[in-house]
Amino acid sequence: MNTAEISREIRQRLVRMHQTGSHFGSAMSIVDILTVLYFRVMNIASPDDPGRDRFILSKGHATSAWYTTLARKGFVDEKVLDTYLKDGGQLYGHPVRGGVPGVEASTGSLGHGINIASGIALAGKNDGRDYRVYVLMGDGEIQEGSVWEGAILAARLKLDNLVAIVDANNLQGFDRVEKIQPIRTFRKKWEAFEWGAREVDGHDHDQLERALREAPFVPGAPSVVIARTTKCKGVKEMEDCFESHYLSVPKDKVECYCRELEEEQ
């Protein structure tokens, strides 16, 4: 499937959605990861099929990308996207379980997703189901201690049906990630916690697909894909700028950004 086309559509939608609110850059960063998961890798015919693969967005602040992917997948009415951050609606700035079909867990506070994912993965194994659980974390997020409690736990439970993805864009709320916990140390850390680890270009769909399909990388162990990404990917003047974590898209830039995305092909 031509997933490049899908990613482009999703990014253009995000440009329009993000005329209010923050986290535009965070959302743009993960579009390729979500596209590859939902359109190439995950086995998910409907959002409530008990056998479906699960996805949890642990970096909940990037949820606009998730909503948009779920809409592109057909699980959510496109029109619902217009209610993003609107009073009285269900499209909160962080995802809420039950609010939108396909949103598996309420997140937004960082460091929670990995352990929820482990619980779902453990239940799947104990019940003899063959679904997989994917959890996407930010590179700043993995400074949370609960992530490393979870890393110990998932390895010890031998959750080879669990795949964590780290959106490694080297930016977090108020700094470069490398000043706090450098990305170059990630792989060794996860491997030291007895996870199988791979590093890929997080915007290269083929690389992402290959890694996600080849997991588990170590038999009987959980897997982590460290996806090297660029914050706000696709909009050159905001790429790799931490301000894109906070700023909305100016009204007069919308068409210009959408055109830029069109031409990138």
| Beta pairing, strands 171-172 & 175-176 | antiparallel
Residue 166 or 211: the one with the smaller Cβ distance to another protein is 166
Look at residue 188 and give the partner it binds from Mg ion, another protein, none, a contact being a CB closer than 5 to 8 Å depending on partner kind. none
126 binds another protein (CB under 8 A): yes
| Binder among 62, 117, 208, 212 for another protein (CB under 8 A) | 117
| Beta pairing, strands 54-57 & 133-138 | parallel
108 binds another protein (CB under 8 A): yes
Q: Enumerate the H helices of the chain as residue ranges.
A: 3-17, 24-29, 31-36, 63-73, 113-126, 145-156, 186-192, 205-214, 254-263
| Binder among 169, 207, 223, 229 for Mg ion (CB under 5 A) | 169
Cα 5–141–211 angle (5° rounding)?
A: 45
Query: Which is nearest to 150 in space by CA: 241, 259, 224?
Result: 224
| Binder among 53, 104, 139, 199 for another protein (CB under 8 A) | 104
For residues 100 and 28, what is the distance between their CA atoms, to the nearest angstrom? 20
196 binds Mg ion (CB under 5 A): no
| C-alpha separations of 94 from 28, 72, 83, 113, 175 in Å | 15, 19, 14, 13, 21
| Binder among 14, 44, 120, 232 for another protein (CB under 8 A) | 120
| Binder among 53, 104, 139, 144 for Mg ion (CB under 5 A) | 139
Shortest Cβ 238–another protein spacing (Å): 30
90 binds another protein (CB under 8 A): no
Residue 34 or 121: the one with the smaller Cβ distance to another protein is 121
Which residues, 138 to 177, sit near another protein by CB under 8 A? 145-146, 149-150, 152-153, 156-157
25 binds Mg ion (CB under 5 A): no
Query: Which is nearest to 187 in space by CA: 226, 157, 149, 153?
Result: 226
On whether the CB atoms of residues 224 and 211 are closer than 8 A, the answer is no
| Binder among 123, 175, 220, 237 for another protein (CB under 8 A) | 123
| Binder among 27, 57, 100, 122 for another protein (CB under 8 A) | 122
Look at residue 244 and give the partner it binds from another protein, Mg ion, none, a contact being a CB closer than 5 to 8 Å depending on partner kind. none
How far is Cα of residue 118 from the mean position of the Cα atoms in its chain? 16
Residues that bind another protein (CB under 8 A): 96-97, 104-109, 111-112, 114-124, 126-127, 145-146, 149-150, 152-153, 156-157
